[in-house]
Structure 1
Amino acid sequence: MKKITLLSLMLYLGMCLSAVSQSWYSEDFETVTPPAFPANYTSVDQDGDGFEWFTYDASGQDPWTANGNIAGSESYENTAQALTPDNLLIIGPLDLSASSGSPSMALSWEAGATEATSTGWHEEHYSVYMETSTTPGTALFSETLAEGQVLYSRSVDVSSFIGNSAVYLIFRHHSCTDEWRLGIDNIKVRTVANDDAGVSEITMSDPAMLSSGDQAITGVISNYGANTITSVDVSWNIDGGATSMETLTGLSIPSFGTYNFTLSDVWTPVNTGSYVIEISTSNPNGNSDANLTNDMSSKTISIVTQFVQRLPLYENFTSSTCPPCVPANAQMLSLFGKDPQTGINAGKWSLVKYQMNWPGIGDPYYTTEGGIRKTYYGINSVPRVEIDGGWDQNGNALTQTIIDQYYAAPAFVEISSTYTIIGKTVDVSVTVNAVSDIAAFTSSNMVVHMAILEKETYLNTNSASNGETEFQFVMKKMVPDAGGTSIGPLTMGSPVTVNDGYTFNGSYVLPPDGQSPANLAVEHTVEEFNDLAVVVWVQDLSTMAVHQSAWSVYTCGAASATSVDATCGAADGTATASSTGPGTIYQWDDPSAQNTATATGLAAGLYNVVITDDLGCQVTTSVFVNDAGGANVVTQAIPNSCVGGATGIVNLIVTGGTTPYSYLWSNGGNTQNITDLTLGDYTVTVTDGAGCLTFRSASITDPEPIAATSLITSSNGNNGSIDLSVTGGTPNYSYVWDNGATTEDIMGLAAGVYSVTITDGFGCTMTASYTVPVNPISGIASVDAFSELTIYPNPFNSSTTIEFTLRNEQQVSIAVLNIVGELVYAEEKGTLRNGIHKVHVAGDRLAPGIYFVKLQIGESSVTRKIIHN
């Protein structure tokens, strides 16, 4: 009897399992040798372009790294470039007669866009059919993939085909172009389990600000089963840590339907960084889930402390031989204008225009570097515009809404850049600083691109066939080349500076067309060097995402001047000015207001000149014209002893000329040497006995001020202390405290205010007061708010890290004070939970020197000295 009961139980369980999930067809392509398909597969190239479905090993590509072989169809191929596929993958006939009696049946598969990004080429469109012939009828399912490198699990109800002995599955790749590659895998036809749910998508914000506090747990639940889901358990964890669970009730998710959920629980991140959240379902309708493999989804979320304004980069691929480029360029010009700092979108865009070598003979200002950018983006038609490495549309489709959309996206890296022009040499300096640590910045493929542009060109119309006569922001050279300069990965608080430049070779040339571009090794196509600009940007070469861009700021050239002495008593001296800037205008302040580089007919005296270069930048310099044969004068300046004092001295050593000498100083003095001088510049006119004039100037400086920084230990009785560090002035220092102490540091102090007078080696003094607080633990039954405070490295260069452990939840802020106690940087960290925390202090915020970091934790604080090299 026992054996019969056991056998009956086994039979019953087998029938139950069969009813729960029975597979009638399954294919994962692992038994074939790519590019071949299984025997019952047929690929049809309906568009006739010679490209059709194939199999390949995709294990080296996201999102297929765990899949191996998959089926693929392309909308872009490296040689043929953009494709417009209409490709059928027909599977069958399939005999589903064994499914008779099944309560329901589903078709499921996995889909994804390979070698693409969320800002790139992922919008593959496909449809799925189940038919009784090889001709597709009404699609059971159609979609355009919303993201790249994301694996989508899809299911549709095919219960109407239960028991059919000859059916065909058809996957159709169509209605898209110039993306990359659609992938399909793990195709299954199976009996639908009664209760089968899973988290198909996590919709939480990424990145998220640390200051925003609680992060809502949100996502999408998909019902893969036959029964309507009325309740389900949802669990989540961060980085594999403690799991929280919540039961959702009152639901009504139909078979193959979805539900957007928000849990009542929240996640409160306490530090910046990248976190992996896993969300899964269980117990749909209070029953065991029939398929545990589709329950969970995960997502990496970056928590950041700050972001900066984004300046979107527009890369415009165009040509003077392209008729459709005319309205596209006109549309962009109407929205942007010719000056990035004026107009309705001032400060909202940067622009690089690449002239292409097609259609026809192409634009004469085509460069091979522009061609490299074209190939990088997979562009095979113009006009085409990439916005921050994506968008990939005709510029005629650009609207104010799109501009505002890209401008509103936060950026987590800031760029500062300057450039100079000296002759035909353009030198560029770029500093890149990540203001937050996000997952994207861990890429080793981050580069800085620098593009030298001509703001407007007119001569590249010799091969024009579209009627355009002017072109804005035309790329002339990328520095050092189209590959950029590697800077990745990026780390918050560790700025990266790149200095580079390019000298245009030879003379200007206008090539006949884009098929015969200029040889930049011996010639150039710059129409006017005073019309150049520079755009820089940070891009991830692997994802194509542009994280930030900037217009480089022109730096004025350096000015200098020389003179030729005048004949004593005559007006025949000269002064010559020069500037390293391009093409200059001169304005002298001599009686004739001369406006040439060299001013002539000058009597002895001081002359100033304002130099304006062709970019509108002004610099000023001065020069003395002396009388030939006058006195030889050497100055010796002795600085002040104390800051703000009047102990400076200028001594003159006078020889030659004709004695006696007379002196007239700019402060009214008439002696050879002047004393009791304050900070400033002093000019002297020395007249010899023959009336010949000699001019000299000298500067009186102050020493660095005496400054003291303190490290104060609070007092719990008489154990407080003040530890001073003194800089500036002139060593050695002496100390007089108001409690009678004469040492630099004092200890054994009760709580209170202590004053000290510090005297340096020249007798200069500085007085300061310091407060020793009462130890907050004294007299109360509480524990320290924090422990284990460390700062590393210290001294530091690019950044330093403050690491501390909280014993309980506390409000935390950080302040950095300079050596005289002035606040130079502050940051609110909000309420942090117990545990280990890290705060980064960026070196680029601070000049080299000694600083104090004050960490405020609840009602307590701790101050530590840091040294920035």
Structure 2
Amino acid sequence: MKHFFTLGLSLSLTMGTAFGQCPPGETEVTMTIVTDRYGEETTWEVTGPGGTPVYGSGGPYTQQPANGEYPQPPVSFCVPDGSVLEITVDDTYGDGMCCAYGNGSWTISVGGVDVASGGTFASSETSSVVIGKDLGVAALSMEAVIAQGSTTIEGTVANNGTEPVSGFMLAYAVDGGTPVQQTFTATVAPGAAYDFSFGTPWSATVGPHSIDLTLSGVPGDLFPGNDMLMQNVNVATQSVSRVVVMEEFTSSTCPPCASFNAVLDPYLSSLNTNEPGSGIVAVKYQMDWPAPGNDPSYNQDGETRRAYYGVTGIPDPFVDGVDVTTGGTDDAIMEHMTKAAFVDLITSNTISGTTLTVDVELTPYADFPGSHKLFIAATENYYPYPASTTSQDEFHYAMRKVLPNGNGITLSALQAGVTQTETQSHTFTIGNPAQGNSNLWGSSMNNITVVTFIQNTSTGEILQGGISQVTTSIGENELDRGLSVFPNPSNGLVFLDVELEQSAQVSYQVFNALGEIVRTESRSTPAGGQRFTMDMSDLESGLYYVSVQSGDMRATRKVTLTR
């Protein structure tokens, strides 16, 4: 399936005849289509409001022998001036025109000027364009739940017409009160958008509110139907620190995944991901493709999450439920870390043998619209897999089981101050992980971290994440307990004290603040207390992370260099 976006404009090919010029009172519209390999999936239609008249339609096109871009002949047709066009572009498979099988696209021009383009969507995208002047309200940039206090009203207006618009007026009113007006002098070109911000903020008070936004002051506006927008918001009683949730769809048979994880995993480690007190948690779902498709960690819970998001290509990272690019994952994480959360999510666990019991308590600080689910994912911190068909042979944050399953747990309506609790249990099998099961790679339960999160089932937005590390009575996190790094701050010479119950191979890595590995070493370490010296004097001053790993156990310490 494909990701779905509703774009500001779109248009389509016509039924066949190309016009050199149009008679007076009409304007030439041209659509250019570039298909991907599977052009037979693409069709389109351009109509008037409500589906009539049909000005043009096109497709399906021809399937090609290989992935790539395949331009189709541009098609033009004449449309009466002042017409409102409704455009629909469909893909029968549900993966749009871009980008897994070629960078397919469409481009619309009106009177020889490009006014819209696209191609990345799911099953369908729809939009409208006006042959003439039209400026409309496109969006209010407000979350469904916000903090109380001074709030700047921001949003976007879009020129959906074929003429530039210079100057307009906007007004916002809260709960039907006195409007706050502001004149804007910007010129918005056809097909362009303008981000606005009111100089007079709203003093937001706790509770539900409605924001009405009205656009005016555009002489000759042919489509007043998009001049108003209303949004409901809830102002929370308080906020809490956000725990960002990073999900990734990946595989041990996917070479691009290995390349991405070689950068992502050190970066996540530098952020103390899945460590108590960290601002980020991670869950990785191992897939059974591409060929040979034999990743042993693939199971139905991961497949259920893949189907929910509509993932068709990997690696595919998501940050707080938002699909992001591999190159933009770090920026997305940093952006979401700056956002407040309005749900308190407390996660704890107990162990009895190989049975894990998880207790979750969540308390919203505002009324949240829509339906929500709670997800409880048991992840394995680390395991080696030399049989991987790629360059990656060590795996981190891998989901082994979602409790009770990948569909999650349906919550009651999220209401301010109303606490909900949930308890789930699962008995694990140690060893022999294989496709379809949730068996653990490690030799004990010590290698599990429980990640929880609350997700809006309609929008995919994740409201808050949580974490609980599994604790057992013997040997739990002995590496973390026995690791000391000093002096801190340091001028370059750093001592590492490590204490182990038994001798083991211990690896050491140093990451800079960008998540880049700047030092790596592996040592055979005897049982008991040991001290090692690490010379970091060749590194620049700044913050670094020293990560120490032995078997299933991992510990990280921050070190500041001041030279």
TM-score w.r.t. the length of structure 2 is 0.64
Deviation at 1:419, TM superposition (A): 0.8
Q: What CA distance in whole angstroms lies between the structure 2 residues aligned with 1:266 and 1:217?
A: 10
2:302 pairs with 1:356: no
Please say if residues 32 and 106 of structure 2, whose CA atoms lie closer than 8 Å, have aligned partners that are also in contact.
no
Q: What CA distance in whole angstroms lies between the structure 2 residues aligned with 1:233 and 1:220?
A: 11
Aligned equivalent of 1:326: 258
Aligned equivalent of 1:482: 406
Q: What CA distance in whole angstroms lies between the structure 1 residues aligned with 2:186 and 2:462?
A: 42
Aligned equivalent of 1:141: 115
Go from structure 1 to structure 2 and tell me whether the alpha carbon gap of 1:126 and 1:273 turns closer, same or farther (over 3 Å shift): farther
Please say if residues 247 and 283 of structure 2, whose CA atoms lie closer than 8 Å, have aligned partners that are also in contact.
yes
Q: How many residue pairs end up in the alignment? A: 436
Deviations 1:110-134 (A, max 9, x none): 579999xxxxx99996421358xxx
Aligned equivalent of 1:806: none
Go from structure 1 to structure 2 and tell me whether the alpha carbon gap of 1:372 and 1:87 turns closer, same or farther (over 3 Å shift): farther
Deviations 1:390-436 (A, max 9, x none): 23433xx3665443222112222121100111111000001111123
2:211 pairs with 1:237: no
Please say if residues 314 and 386 of structure 1, whose CA atoms lie closer than 8 Å, have aligned partners that are also in contact.
yes
Please say if residues 51 and 86 of structure 2, whose CA atoms lie closer than 8 Å, have aligned partners that are also in contact.
no
Deviation at 1:482, TM superposition (A): 0.5
2:314 pairs with 1:452: no
Deviations 1:305-363 (A, max 9, x none): 432221111222222222222222221222122893699x9713211122222221421
Alignment of 1:158-169 (within 5 A): none
Go from structure 1 to structure 2 and tell me whether the alpha carbon gap of 1:353 and 1:72 turns closer, same or farther (over 3 Å shift): farther
Alignment of 1:414-425 (within 5 A): 414-425=344-355
Alignment of 1:37-52 (within 5 A): 45=35, 47-52=37-42
2:229 pairs with 1:297: yes
Amino acid at match of 1:457: Y
2:429 pairs with 1:493: no
Aligned equivalent of 1:809: none
Describe the SS at the equivalent of 2:340: coil
Determine which of 122, 125, 134 is the counterpart of 1:183.
Answer: 125
Please say if residues 24 and 188 of structure 1, whose CA atoms lie closer than 8 Å, have aligned partners that are also in contact.
no
Please say if residues 199 and 281 of structure 1, whose CA atoms lie closer than 8 Å, have aligned partners that are also in contact.
no
Alignment of 1:34-433 (within 5 A): 45=35, 47-54=37-44, 92-94=76-78, 109=85, 126-130=106-110, 140-143=114-117, 173-174=118-119, 176=120, 179-186=121-128, 189=131, 192=132, 198-206=135-143, 209=146, 211-213=148-150, 215-216=152-153, 220=157, 222=159, 229=166, 232=168, 234-239=170-175, 241-242=176-177, 244=179, 246=181, 248=183, 251=185, 253=187, 256=190, 262=197, 266-282=201-217, 284=218, 291-337=223-269, 340=272, 347-359=278-290, 360-394=292-326, 397=327, 400-433=330-363
Alignment of 1:556-571 (within 5 A): none
Deviations 1:274-332 (A, max 9, x none): 423231314x46xx755433432333344334322211112222222222222222212
Kindly report the root-mean-square deviation, in angstroms, between the aligned alpha carbons of the 2 structures: 4.6
Could you list the runs of 5+ residues in structure 1 that have no partner in the other structure?
Answer: 1-21, 28-39, 58-65, 75-82, 100-104, 116-120, 132-137, 144-172, 512-516, 556-580, 585-612, 618-869
Q: What CA distance in whole angstroms lies between the structure 1 residues aligned with 2:337 and 2:207?
A: 24
TM-score w.r.t. the length of structure 1 is 0.43
Q: What CA distance in whole angstroms lies between the structure 1 residues aligned with 2:363 and 2:157?
A: 36
Deviations 1:621-649 (A, max 9, x none): xxxxxxxxxxxxxxxxxxxxxxxxxxxxx
Amino acid at match of 2:143: D
Describe the SS at the equivalent of 1:140: strand
Alignment of 1:665-744 (within 5 A): none
Go from structure 1 to structure 2 and tell me whether the alpha carbon gap of 1:26 and 1:281 turns closer, same or farther (over 3 Å shift): farther
Deviations 1:788-833 (A, max 9, x none): xxxxxxxxxxxxxxxxxxxxxxxxxxxxxxxxxxxxxxxxxxxxxx
Aligned equivalent of 1:461: 386
Please say if residues 25 and 188 of structure 1, whose CA atoms lie closer than 8 Å, have aligned partners that are also in contact.
no
Go from structure 1 to structure 2 and tell me whether the alpha carbon gap of 1:122 and 1:181 turns closer, same or farther (over 3 Å shift): farther
Deviations 1:765-796 (A, max 9, x none): xxxxxxxxxxxxxxxxxxxxxxxxxxxxxxxx
Determine which of 409, 428, 444 is the counterpart of 1:504.
Answer: 428
Deviations 1:467-498 (A, max 9, x none): 43321222211100001111142111011111
Go from structure 1 to structure 2 and tell me whether the alpha carbon gap of 1:400 and 1:235 turns closer, same or farther (over 3 Å shift): closer
Deviations 1:558-604 (A, max 9, x none): xxxxxxxxxxxxxxxxxxxxxxx45x3xxxxxxxxxxxxxxxxxxxx
Describe the SS at the equivalent of 2:341: coil
Q: What CA distance in whole angstroms lies between the structure 1 residues aligned with 2:410 and 2:41?
A: 36
- More contact order relative to length (CA 8 Å, sep ≥ 6): 2
Identity across aligned pairs (percent)? 20
Go from structure 1 to structure 2 and tell me whether the alpha carbon gap of 1:93 and 1:281 turns closer, same or farther (over 3 Å shift): closer
Q: What CA distance in whole angstroms lies between the structure 2 residues aligned with 1:469 and 1:221?
A: 49
Please say if residues 424 and 504 of structure 1, whose CA atoms lie closer than 8 Å, have aligned partners that are also in contact.
yes
Go from structure 1 to structure 2 and tell me whether the alpha carbon gap of 1:276 and 1:110 turns closer, same or farther (over 3 Å shift): farther
Deviations 1:715-735 (A, max 9, x none): xxxxxxxxxxxxxxxxxxxxx
Q: What CA distance in whole angstroms lies between the structure 2 residues aligned with 1:130 and 1:24?
A: 11
Please say if residues 240 and 343 of structure 2, whose CA atoms lie closer than 8 Å, have aligned partners that are also in contact.
yes
Aligned equivalent of 2:476: 614
